[in-house]
Structure formats: structure tokens, C-alpha cells
Structure 1
Amino acid sequence: MLKRTLAVAAGVALSLTAALSQAADTLRVSAIPDEAPTELLRKFKPLGAYLEQQLDMKVEFVPVSDYAAVVEAIAADRIDLAWLGGFTFVQARLKTAGTAHPAIPLVQRAEDEKFTSKIISADPSVNSLQDLKGKTFAFGSVSSTSGSLMPRFFMLQDGINPETFFSRIAYSGAHDATAAWVQAGKADGGVLNASVWDKLVAAGKIDSDKVKVIATTPPYFDYNWTVRGTLDPVVRDKIQAAFLALDPANPEHMAILDLQAASRFIPTKAENYQGIEQAAEAAGLLK
């Protein structure tokens, strides 16, 4: 009986060791679901293949249901690397701040140093934000930096309280959904990040003769690639080096950069997102 118990225990130990070894050999990557799941996967595939080559390890994309799930996953070490918006980075950083290894931002696109949001409308009578007074308006996700937090922050700075200024507020959940709502007349106006707006117009998914930009926010820091604080520093440094090595002069690299809407990647640091944290505090979104 004892031999049998020891044999079972040994088998469990070996299985656990194998599982841990397999996990250590796989980089688990996720992203905030700010676009349709199929689009997120399309954007990630060539980047994932590039990272596998550069890191010499398997790279797995782990989709999540909402913004909060990404924050929880990186705080619980269930994912290793995540594409976060400025606000979700602040949330992840604060959630891990009391630990020995807080989440670490590695790189951002050069464009993320001065990111903006576009306020749009398909109503012919609307030519400015003030023209949307008393009309319906769509934000993206409540946790979106460019689709909710920063546009709201700038509106409040201009004396516009969205809850009283608009007749009704809705949250589409994603930038492309916001644009689709406005184009279909489900909302008189809406806000989405400038990068997704440009992509939708270029792809012909939005009729720019019908839907127009009526305002652009001031610039702010936004997206970055963040790793869990407990990730092996050697792997962490290799990931950062891989992003920084992406060269727009290389056609294969340019294809990856184009899908990421990036001219290039540059190093970033937590201090860059202090403005986002202050805006979130002012909006009462940090508990």
C-alpha cells in the first residue's frame, strides 16, 4: 500500500514538474479587447511568430473577455506579457504595487507618446462637440483610456459633464464598435482612439463622407507592452530587445509594425503614465 501511495505521489510530482516546465517554455501573451477578437488575433499572429523566433520559445495568445480580466491575469501571473492601454496599465501597476514585483512597462509605440482620441458624428447638423448637447453619445469600454477616460477628462476640463450634457450615454465596449454605432445612427456622436479611426477609414469600413471627425483631444500617453513583475529578467530583456529591434526598413518587420499601427517601438517607464493615474483619480475610477 505504501509503495503504491509513493508511486502515485511520484507520478503527481512528475506531472506537476512537466506542467511547470512547459509553462516556463511558453510566453503567454494577452491584450485588452479594444477591437473585435478576430482583429486582435490577426494583428498578433506575425508578431507572435517573430517573438517565437527571437526568444526561442513558444508564444501563445490568450484572449480575455474584458479589460478587467487582463489586469487580473497579469496580477495573478496567469499571463506574462500584455498589450495594455494607459489606464489598464495604471490599474495593473497599482494592483501589483504592494508586491515585491510590480508589473513593468517595457515598450510603447512612438505614437503613444502623443496619442489622441477622435470625437465623431454622422449627423449633418453636428460640426462641433457643443452641437452634440442633448444628443446621444457612445464611449468605448469604461476602462478604455482613449475611448472613455481621457476624452471624459478633457470634457470635464472644458466644463462639460457627459452625464448632463448628453441625453444618453452608452458604452460600446470597443473602438470599432463605437464607429459602427455612429455610422448606423445608434448614437449621434462617439469617441474612439485616433489609430483605430485611421485604420477603419483606410480599410473602407467607415464612410468618411458620412461620418466625420468633429473634435480631437489634446495628446496623452497611452498604450504599452507590459510584463508581469515576476517574469525572468533575462526573458524580459529579450522581449524588450525584440520590440526595439523591429526595423521599418525591413519588409517583414514593417508588416508587423503596420499591423501594430506603429512606426517603431521605443522604451517606456511607469512615470510616463502619472497623468493617466491623475485623470483616473479625478474621475473617481481608482478605488
Structure 2
Amino acid sequence: MKPTFKRALGALALGTLLSLSAHAQQVLRVSAIPDEAPTELQRKFKPLGEYLSKKTGLKVEFTPVTDYAASVEGLVNNKLDMVWFGGFTFVQAKDRSKGQVVPLVQRVEDEKFRSVFITTSPSITKLADLKGKTLSFGSESSTSGHLMPRSFLLAAKIDPDSDLKRIAFSGAHDATVAAVSGGKVDAGALNISVWEKLVGEKKVDTSKVRVFYTTPTYYDYNWTVRADMPADLKKKITDAFLALDPSTPEGKEILDLQRATKFIPTKAENYVNIEAAAKNAGLLKK
């Protein structure tokens, strides 16, 4: 085979590989912690995914994950490009990747997020009343459904593992409400945003289920990417979120589904208190 022909074939093969590589990079793989039912997560993301596709020029694919840990591993192991994390899952991803993940944006609401404790029992009116009772958290890796409620219980001198009759993990905020409503547990702790959404949609009977404690505020959710994502793509994604405007039909639909008034930039330093709470609660190695 002549050298020039070999070079031509080599160039063609290289060009094909580069073309395939470029094609592979045309997909933005997105996921979210499964803090609600998979169908609800898909419904919430659909218009946002279409919007991000327009703004970035990439095909945006939403891939649901089975549990919180899978969302962390997916991003850390390069199977996902961007994930909607809670504060604790972001801290876990930061820890697992040795700092190689970057939070881009959060909702305004995430600067001062809260959890609520709910019950159907008339005898439960404060955290101390939970002693000897049964309680459901959400997922073990949930910030607003486990870590922060546990942290505030510990601050109130209540150890969930020894002072309560039993604790359970429902896996998701809406499942916690169902567990409390159905009498499976005496009380539950969940994300205030999901609680307010379920109340607003009349999916919970507030004549039976009520909030008896609302936590102090803390930083929570954000959209996170890997640190090795190209800077121009990070900027396009960030700018797209920051440009969402509730005065436009498209912006209003997306923001309403995300339960946000608007998105703002965020940074890893915002989550140092979440990291400290996780270490103090024994949920992250010191």
C-alpha cells in the first residue's frame, strides 16, 4: 500500500473518530435526585430540557435514576453531565469526586430553604412530643427530608435512633406524606416546597395532616456539573437559567414547574454548613 494512500486512510479514520466523538458530545445528559415520583420529575423537566436545548444547541436527555446515590455516582463517573442535587447530595458528590464538581445555579428559594414536620396526631405539637413515637424521613441522602430534620432534632436534644420508637425512610417527600396520611407512622419530615405543592394541588387532607414544626432556614438545592465541563458550555447553561423570566410564557411555565421565582448563581462555599451538619450527624466521614 502506498504511503500516500495509507495517510489518506489514516486521515479518513481519524476524521471519522473525531466526527463520532463530536457527535457523542452533542448530548447533554441530565438527571435529578428522585425526591418525587419519576413521572413528576419527567413532567417538571420536559419544558426546561427543551429550553436548554435551544440555548445550548445540544440534545438534552433526562435520565431518571433509581436512588440518590445513583445520581451522585452518575455525575462522578461521567455517566451524567448535570444533576439537580439537594445540598447533601452535592456535598456527597463533592466528597466522592475530591472537589471535581461545580454548582452552577440555585433557585432564590434555595438560599433560605426549610423542612416541615407533619403529623395526624393531636398529641404531637412540638419536637419533644416525638419521643417514643414513629417517624418517617424521606431518602437517607435527602437534605430536606433527612439530614437537616435530623440535625434540628439533635439540636433539640432528641436522638432519632434512641429516643424514637422507630424511624423509617420513605424514599421521597410525597411518599412521606402518604405514610403519615395513611397512619403508617406518627409523623414525618419533608421538604417545605413539596408540602406546599401537595397542599396547593389538594393532594393532602389538611384537616387531618398538619405541620407542627418548621425548621430554621438553610441552603439546599442546586444544578451541578463536573468541573471538567468546557467553560463555554458552563456559561451557556448558567446564562440560560439566569435568563428565565416569569413575565414570558415560556419562563413562567418553567419557573412554575421548578417552583422557583428565579434562578441565581451559587457556589460550593454556600454548602459548608450542610457539610458540617452531615459530619456532626455521622452521615459523612470527618
Q: TM-score by structure 2 length?
A: 0.92
Aligned to 1:162: 160
Cα contact 1:77–1:230 (8 A) shared by 2: no
* Separation of aligned partners in 1, 2:14 and 2:170: 47
The one-letter code of the counterpart of 2:29 is R
Cα contact 2:176–2:188 (8 A) shared by 1: yes
Aligned to 2:57: 56
CA deviations over 1:20-78 (Å, ceiling 9, x no partner): 32320011100000110000000000100110111111100011111111111111111
1:22 aligns with 2:20: no
Runs of 4+ in 1 over 6 A off after TM superposition: 9-15
SS of corresponding position for 1:106: strand
Aligned to 1:38: 39
Cα contact 2:127–2:153 (8 A) shared by 1: no
Matched ranges for 1:163-178 at <5 A: 163-178=161-176
CA deviations over 1:189-229 (Å, ceiling 9, x no partner): 00000000000111111111110000001100000000111
Change (3 A) 1:12 1:196: farther
Comparing 226-235 with 269-278, which one deviates more in the overlay?
Answer: 226-235
Unaligned runs of 5+ in 1: 1-8
Aligned to 2:70: 69
CA deviations over 1:138-167 (Å, ceiling 9, x no partner): 000110000000110111111110112210
Deviation at 1:274, TM superposition (A): 0.2
Aligned length, in residue pairs: 277
Aligned to 2:181: 183
Match of 1:223 among 213, 221, 224: 221
Matched ranges for 1:1-287 at <5 A: 17=18, 19-97=20-98, 102-287=100-285
* Separation of aligned partners in 2, 1:15 and 1:42: 37
* Separation of aligned partners in 1, 2:201 and 2:16: 48
* Separation of aligned partners in 1, 2:284 and 2:13: 42
Aligned to 1:4: none
The alignment's C-alpha RMSD in Å is 1.8
* Separation of aligned partners in 2, 1:216 and 1:11: 64
CA deviations over 1:4-33 (Å, ceiling 9, x no partner): xxxxx9999787655432320011100000
* Separation of aligned partners in 1, 2:177 and 2:12: 54
SS of corresponding position for 2:60: strand
SS of corresponding position for 1:104: strand
The one-letter code of the counterpart of 1:280 is A
